[in-house]
Amino acid sequence: MTCTPGQPCEEGRKRGRALGALLLMAAIFVALSFASFVKSRTQVVPSDVHYANFDAVQGKRVFQAYNCMGCHTLLGNGAYFGPDLTNVYEHAGPAWLAAFLPSAGGWPTRPAVQVHLADADQQADTGIKDMDAYLKKFPGAAERIARRGGHDSYMPNLPITGTEVKQLIAFLKYTSEMNTMGWPPKPQVDGLAFPQAKPFPQAAAAPNAGAAPSPGAPQAAADPAQQGKELAAQLGCTACHATDGTKKVGPGWGGLFGHPVRLADGNTVTADDAYLAESIRSPNAKVPEGFTAGVMPAYDAATVPDDQVKSIVAYIRSLQGGGQ
């Protein structure tokens, strides 16, 4: 481009402005590129979030290994078959997640969640031992227990280990601590009349839904096996154990009593009263072959008194015909 003879020439000035703008944009690009490698100023990073001895990076690997995004979303990304998991830790807390993840085919009951309150890692993370205090801090757990506890879910049981559960909790804790700028949005249903728009019932209306009978409470049924059946449902046992011989998260109960059980260490024991009671109190003491230690929590005497353990054993003993 050349200047017209006899006319003022602006070519050099225009080129200078264009070059200056280009250099300014290049400087901004370089500065932002460097800033992307600097530790986030306000955003939490995965390596800084821990649960138990695991960080969120380890949990993300488990999340990816089980293809959780095939059904769920995080920050709106993923599939929409299951709920968004961005804030599930903040809403439901680690004890509810620990109760749900190993046996996701059934929603946890209050006693099932209460068992995980005794876990040292849970107490170190939340500082909570009391169930009512836990439900107050994590109202999403109270809502889930009141509406769904003891019912089947649409999610399959996964071959997840106890270690993987805690790693996943670390990852979900991280996503709850992210600054998501208000995601996920809260649906506005005020003024809408169709049934799907009605707010969920308040969990506070039934805070003890699914609770196990207290140690001194009178039993409604005189038959120990019937009492055991009711307790197994209240404690969520049937989410992991089938009442026939079907293998789920744990061994099937149908036809189990009195038969030999091969253990993971190669030994064999008989499924008698003592073995079944020990499996409730200390499930990692004698793990059956083909199953993983650390998945089933230990039910101590404060949660399941001895008489209730005997009732559950009596119920398992009654399942000689393949379940009911």
CATH number at residue 172: 1.10.760
User: Mean pLDDT in each 10-residue stretch from start to end of the chain (324 residues)?
Assistant: 68 85 95 76 84 96 95 91 93 96 92 92 96 96 92 90 96 93 71 63 44 45 87 88 91 94 95 96 94 88 91 94 56
- Please check whether residue 203 lies inside any domain of the structure: no
- Please check whether residue 148 lies inside any domain of the structure: yes
Q: Which domain holds residue 236?
A: 224-321
Q: Are residues 85 and 163 in the same domain?
A: yes
Q: Are residues 166 and 273 in the same domain?
A: no
| CA 21/CA 17 separation, integer angstroms | 6
Of the three residues 161, 177, 193, the one that is the final residue of a domain is 177
- State the CATH number of the domain containing residue 268: 1.10.760.10
| CA 315/CA 223 separation, integer angstroms | 9
Short-list 91, 73, 89, CA closest to 81: 73
User: Are 51 and 170 in contact, with CB atoms under 8 Å apart?
Assistant: yes
Alpha helices in 127-161, H assignment, sequence order: 131-137, 139-148
Q: Are residues 250 and 305 in the same domain?
A: yes
Q: What pLDDT, on the 0 to 100 scale, is given for residue 174? A: 96
Q: 């599930």: which residue's tokens?
A: 88
Q: What pLDDT, on the 0 to 100 scale, is given for residue 195? A: 64
Of the three residues 177, 209, 235, the one that is the final residue of a domain is 177
Q: Are residues 243 and 313 in the same domain?
A: yes
- Please check whether residue 230 lies inside any domain of the structure: yes
| CA 115/CA 285 separation, integer angstroms | 18
Tell the burial category of 159 from Cβ atoms under 10 Å away from its Cβ (0-12, 13-18, 19+): exposed
Short-list 28, 157, 174, CA closest to 100: 157
- Please check whether residue 2 lies inside any domain of the structure: no
CA angle at 283 for the pair 286 and 106, rounded to the nearest 5°:
130
Q: How many Cβ atoms are within 10 Å of 32's Cβ, its own excluded?
A: 9
Q: What pLDDT, on the 0 to 100 scale, is given for residue 323? A: 52
| CA 210/CA 96 separation, integer angstroms | 14
Q: Full-prediction pTM beyond 0.75? A: no
- Please check whether residue 14 lies inside any domain of the structure: no
Sign of CA dihedral 287, 288, 294, 299: negative
Q: What pLDDT, on the 0 to 100 scale, is given for residue 113? A: 94
Q: Are residues 60 and 169 in the same domain?
A: yes
Q: Are residues 62 and 139 in the same domain?
A: yes
- Please check whether residue 7 lies inside any domain of the structure: no
Q: Are residues 173 and 246 in the same domain?
A: no
Q: How many domains does the chain have?
A: 2
What are the CA-CA distances from residue 272 to residues 36, 277, 292 (Å)? Answer: 62, 9, 21
Of the three residues 149, 177, 205, the one that is the final residue of a domain is 177
Q: Are residues 261 and 153 in the same domain?
A: no
Q: What pLDDT, on the 0 to 100 scale, is given for residue 218? A: 41
pLDDT in tens, 5-56: 767 777 778 888 899 999 999 999 999 888 777 765 578 889 899 999 999 9
Q: Are residues 140 and 230 in the same domain?
A: no
Q: What pLDDT, on the 0 to 100 scale, is given for residue 127? A: 96
- Please check whether residue 105 lies inside any domain of the structure: yes
Q: Are residues 164 and 229 in the same domain?
A: no
Q: Are residues 149 and 231 in the same domain?
A: no
Q: What pLDDT, on the 0 to 100 scale, is given for residue 201? A: 52
Q: Are residues 229 and 152 in the same domain?
A: no
Q: What pLDDT, on the 0 to 100 scale, is given for residue 294? A: 85
| CA 286/CA 260 separation, integer angstroms | 13
- Please check whether residue 170 lies inside any domain of the structure: yes
Q: Token pair of 162, please? A: 């106890």
- Helix (H) or strand (E) holding 50, with range, is strand 50-51
